[in-house]
Structure formats: C-alpha cells, structure tokens
Amino acid sequence: AKPQVVVVGGGYGGATAARYIRLWSDSSIDVTLIEPNAQFISCPLSNLVLGGSRQIGDLTMSIQALADKHGVRIIRDFVTSVNADKRTLALAGGQSLSYDRLIVSPGVDFMWDQLPGMLKKGAQDAILHAWKAGAQTVALRAQLEAMPDGGVYAMTIPPAPYRCPPGPYERASQVAFYFSRHKPRSKVLILDANDDVVSKGPLFKKVWKDRYSGIIDYRPAFRIADIDAGARTAISELGDKVQADVLNVIPPQRAGSIAMQSGLANVNARWCGVDFLSFESTQSKNIHVLGDAIAVAPLMPKSAHMANQHAKVCAAAVVDLLSGRAPDPQPMLTNTCYSFVSDQDVIHVASVHAYNAEKKTLLVVPGSGGVSSTASPMEGAYALNWARNIWADTLG
Ligand code: FAD
C-alpha cells in the first residue's frame, strides 16, 4: 500500500505541503487534505478590501485543482482530535483516518480569555477582528462605510508574536487612505501593545507623516487589558479608556486549537516547537507542524510566504523520510512581506533564513534582504505578482 499522509488545514501551509508531496513523490504517496471551508480566502491583500480598492471575491479561490490536477483527496470536514500513539485522527463528521505522517497547519486562534469583555454575549459580533479573511473583513468594511465623517476608527494590536507583523500597520494605512478620499475629517487611532511599530517602522511612520498626517494617531505601549464592547471602548492595563465609532480588536493569538488540544503547543503552552530540518513536532513523532502555529526561529515572521516555505521544506523531508532517506541537512528559506500604503503604493521587507546546524535553528543570512527605500507603484506591481504567484504555487 502507498504511504498515507494526512494534512490538517488547506490554508497557505497545508495546501502547499499537500501539492508538493504529490509533485515530489511522483504521486507515490497518498495525500488527504482536511479543510472545513469550501473556498480559500486570502488574508494577504485583504486589507485592501478595507481600503476599498478590492472586493473579497477578488481574494476567494477554489481548492479543487489540488484534487483535479494533483490527486489530493480533499475531505471537507474539521479535525476534532489526534491520537499520536495510534496515528489516527477523528473528524467532526464522525469519520476516522489513519496516517503514516500527519501535517498540521491550522493557523492561529484567538486568546479571548485575555480580553474578558469579549466573552460577553454578542461582543464578538459587534467588535470585529477581521484577522481571518472572509465575512469579518466584509463586515468591518461595512462598519467603516457606515461611520459618519468626523468619526474615529481605533485598532488594537496585540503583543508580538502574532500573525503578519506588518499587517496591522498596513491596515491602518488602508483605512487612512479610504478616509483621506471619502471622510477626511475622520481619524485612525492605532493602540499598539508593542513599544514601537513591529515591522518596517521607519517606512510606515514616514508614509503616515507624508500622506496621512492629521488622520493617523499612533499610540505605542497601549497594553490592552479589556474591551467594553457595548461602549466600543478599549481599556489599557493602566485603566486608560479609548472610545471609538468603529473599534477593531486584533486579539492576542496562539496556535490553532487542534494543535493546542493535541498537545503539540509545547512552547509557552501557545506555539508548537518543531525541528527545522523537517518541521516535525518536537512533541510528537510523525507529526509535522507548519505556518503560523509554530514557535518561530529568530526574526522569522508569521507570514503566508513563510508558511509556503515551511511547507516545501516539510514536503521534501516527508518524501525523503517515507523513502528511507534523511532530509536535506541545509534548508534555506526566503520571506517577503509587501504592504500597501495606498491603493497602489507598496513597501516591502525581505529576508533569507539558513539552517544553522550548531544552533539547530534557522538564522537570517547576514546581509540578505532588507526593506524598500520608499513606497512606490513599481513595488505595487511586484506585490500583486507576488500574490498571483503564491496563489498558483499554493493551490495549483
Ligand atoms: P491559514 O492560511 O490560516 O490556514 C489554516 C487553515 O486551517 C484554515 O483554512 C482553517 O480553516 C484550517 N483549519 C484550522 N483548524 C482546522 C481543523 N481542526 N481541521 C481542519 N482544518 C482546520 N502574509 C504574507 O506573507 N503576506 C501578506 O501580505 C500578508 N498579509 C496579511 C494580511 C492580513 C490582514 C492578515 C490577517 C494576514 C496576512 N498575512 C500575510 C499572514 C498570512 O495570512 C498567514 O501567515 C498565513 O495564512 C499562515 O498560513 P497557515 O497555513 O499557518 O494558516
């Protein structure tokens, strides 16, 4: 019988791993992908929906080509438990599957218990995160459209690490872009739990000064302790209260729930430790973890680009391991994160990460990568092509 690989989650990490295991094993390994959503909706570019230059439909794609072109068996269901000893997993629909190797890429889930007011009835329907692209992205855009000119949009940013380090600042820029065109008396208030802008700080701050001065107000070290959803108010650790017309809470994050429940989140009870040569869990043999759910290596962002790179290192390693070979001892990964600061102008940060055998981790190659010198429409074209490429690479 062919070796069986099961992949949990058809997002950036999981779909890429499923596709590449089929490609690199010449279809000699059976791959089953479990994903509850009918469609893949991209978080990258979803801030443009808030800025008004894209619709959610532009970012919504089918995952069917993974089955039709690559022979991945897709099951539309949700994994409820994993039994690492028996190498089986259970699905919400009642089915049970067994595996030789399991790949888990469930993304993040939110630590709502850190913001007790958000656990009250109705709070999560009124105060949106829009940190998983889809219905919430559309609903947040509707809240911005309904807000009268002269109103305040406030966003809270959790302490790093969280999904997409530059994402909140791109979002602030997108909302400011929309206000500058349609509601020029309105304000964007950034309440950042971090002491400074986490990614591309000097570039974002220059854009805000040059283009959105008088619109964006950046407040670092606003350590959020609670939310009063009814009053649309964010409350800091020090008791400062900030009321907004539209309050957008990006909550603290941890590995997706299935990783937590199956004991894979062995770093601070929050993220999943992995061996960077194969992305095999440091907790459970024969289980690999990818993407946002892992405890990252130094200076490694939680990004779609990185999830794609994890997936390729893992896919190659899984094909090797199932063929009795050792994985490549020197993996090398890249990352680029583009951020739109208007409908066209973009800034980027890029890096290269190489395996260091002595430290057993991935380290940034000195002198590799860097950031844009300034925001430009040329980088806007690169960013759109980056998106087209990664969608094709992920979904086939
Ligand atoms: P995901 O892509 O979220 O996939 C996880 C999948 O697992 C989901 O489809 C989910 O349904 C499924 N799942 C979860 N639990 C289960 C279960 N129990 N059973 C079955 N399936 C399950 N990154 C970039 O590189 N560039 C960008 O420009 C960029 N912009 C961003 C902008 C925003 C606003 C946000 C929020 C993120 C952005 N990111 C960007 C980050 C990027 O979206 C994530 O890093 C990436 O999605 C991580 O991939 P993943 O596979 O870990 O998780």
Tens of pLDDT along the chain (396 residues)?
A: 999 999 999 999 999 999 999 999 999 999 999 999 999 999 999 999 999 999 999 999 999 999 999 999 999 999 999 999 999 999 999 999 999 999 999 999 999 999 999 999 999 999 999 999 999 999 999 999 999 999 999 999 999 999 999 999 999 999 999 999 999 999 999 999 999 999 999 999 999 999 999 999 999 999 999 999 999 999 999 999 999 999 999 999 999 999 999 999 999 999 999 999 999 999 999 999 999 999 999 999 999 999 999 999 999 999 999 999 999 999 999 999 999 999 999 999 999 999 999 999 999 999 999 999 999 999 999 999 999 999 999 999
CA distances to 18, 27, 88 from 2, in Å: 15, 9, 16
| Chain centre to alpha carbon of residue 276 | 19
To test the ligand 1 pocket, which listed residue (89, 292, 336) has its Cβ within 8 A of the most ligand atoms?
292
Ligand 1 centroid distance, CA of 98 (Å)? 25
Q: Of all protein residues, whose CA lies closest to atom 49 belonging to ligand 1?
A: 12
Spatial separation of the C-alpha atoms in residues 42 and 176, rounded to whole Å: 22
* H helix intervals, the chain: 12-24, 47-51, 64-68, 123-126, 135-146, 167-182, 201-211, 257-261, 304-322, 377-395
What phi and psi values does residue 193 have, to the nearest 5 degrees? -70, -20
Residues 6 or more apart whose Cβ sits within 8 Å of residue 92: 36, 77, 78, 79, 80
Rounded CA gap, 53 and 59, in Å? 12
* Residue 68 token pair: 């039709």
Residue 369 has phi, psi (to 5 degrees) of 70, -155
One-letter amino acid identity for 104?
V
Considering the entire predicted model, what is its pTM?
A: 0.98
> CB–CB of 50/144 below 8 Å?
yes
Taking CA atoms only, the protein residue closest to ligand 1 atom 43 is 43
Predicted complex: ipTM over 0.90: yes
Q: How far is the CA of 241 from the centre of ligand 1 (A)?
A: 31
Q: Up-side HSE of residue 258: CA atoms within 13 Å toward CB?
A: 27
Q: Cα–chain-centroid distance for residue 172?
A: 17
Tokens of 256: 């997706």
Please give the distance, rounded to the nearest whole angstrom, from the Cα atom of residue 296 to the centre of ligand 1.
Answer: 15
- Spatial separation of the C-alpha atoms in residues 394 and 58, rounded to whole Å: 16
